[in-house]
Amino acid sequence: MACLALKLKLDGVPFNLDVTLCCGQVFRWRQLGGWWYGVVGEHVFKVRQVGNEVFYANVDESMVKRYFSLDHDLERIRLRTCRDAYVRQAFERFWGLRLIRQDPWECLISYVSAAWRNIPAINRSLQALAQAHGEKLSYDGQVFYAFPTPERLACVTEKSLRNCGLGYRARYIHEIAQQVSSGAFTLKRLRGMPYAQAWDELTVLRGVGPKVADCVLLFAFEKLEAFPVDVWVARVLKAHYARYMPEAVAKLAGGALSPSAYAKIGASARAYFGEYAGYAQQYLYHNERTCMQTRK
């Protein structure tokens, strides 16, 4: 079915669609013929930006605004978060990057599958997973796949999950799907919880450690104080934040972080960057990945 594209005027609201979709927070978006195509829940839609206007089709405006968090006061976040020249420069470079409100289930499985792998490999196995077990959807003459539901993944064999390139993570994903589909674990419940409590709940799941929990809370549950620390963010902190949070950076000296060390780094980052620490994290993460590729 042909869908008419509608137009949303940003009217001064800062937004950069390309950076928002390319900064590594979300997977499975595809660029085709000048449009970005994405599947959110069971719904395919497309979107593109030309200057101060956002065009979209097969979706309503409120959904676009909600998904891309256009209601976040980015100017306020910038003022509140930019405590030093380094993070300020990252905000300037990628101004308009917004944290997306992802589907919690897909986000959870995405970041469980992301542990200790590079982004191309993550994209590949998430696509394979959707293609093998998700509902087939057609739009604009293209084929897309919804992300497989918990019920569906609970019925799939672990071996079938391994065939999607998930390696040993297949076991965690299978187990989590069973817990969620049976009702033993409820994702919706996390919505109303404060950050720390939701973090405690999530890390009960096998395959969900401190870092994965922070990603899910930041990208799907709008806990903007969550500060995921991965290898890239650890590099930024070591290189540029030793004088602002010395005790946290000292803990990054060795290899793997203990849960308590990870928690202290998060607490320091929240104390320093404030209630929107997650925004600082995403700007710094993307900045590090795009500008410092060759650094060890």
Q: Where in the sequence numbering do the catalytic residues fall? A: 211
Under rule CB under 7 A, residue 228 binds DNA: yes
Among 65, 80, 93, 117, binds DNA (CB under 7 A): 117
232 is a contact residue toward DNA (CB under 7 A): yes
C-alpha dihedral, 221 to 244 to 234 to 267, nearest 10°: -40
CB of 228 to DNA, least distance (A): 4
256-275 footprint of DNA as x/- string (CB under 7 A): xx----x-------------
Q: Which stretch binds DNA (CB under 7 A): 39-47, 74-82, 112-120, 269-277?
A: 112-120
Q: Which is nearer to DNA, 53 or 168 (CB)?
A: 168
Which residues contact residue 45 at a Cβ distance below 8 angstroms, ignoring those fewer than 6 apart?
A: 37, 38, 56, 57, 58, 59, 63, 139
Residue among 20, 81, 102, 282 that touches DNA (CB under 7 A)? 282
Question: In the complex with DNA, which residue's Cβ is closer, 6 or 121?
Answer: 121
The residues near 76 (Cβ < 8 Å, ≥ 6 apart) are: none
Tell me if 96 contacts DNA by CB under 7 A: no
157 touching DNA, by CB under 7 A: no
Is residue 226 a contact point for DNA (CB under 7 A)? Answer: no
- In the complex, the residues that contact DNA under the rule CB under 7 A are 23-25, 114-122, 124, 162, 165, 167-169, 172, 203, 205-213, 215, 228, 230-233, 256-257, 262, 281-282, 285
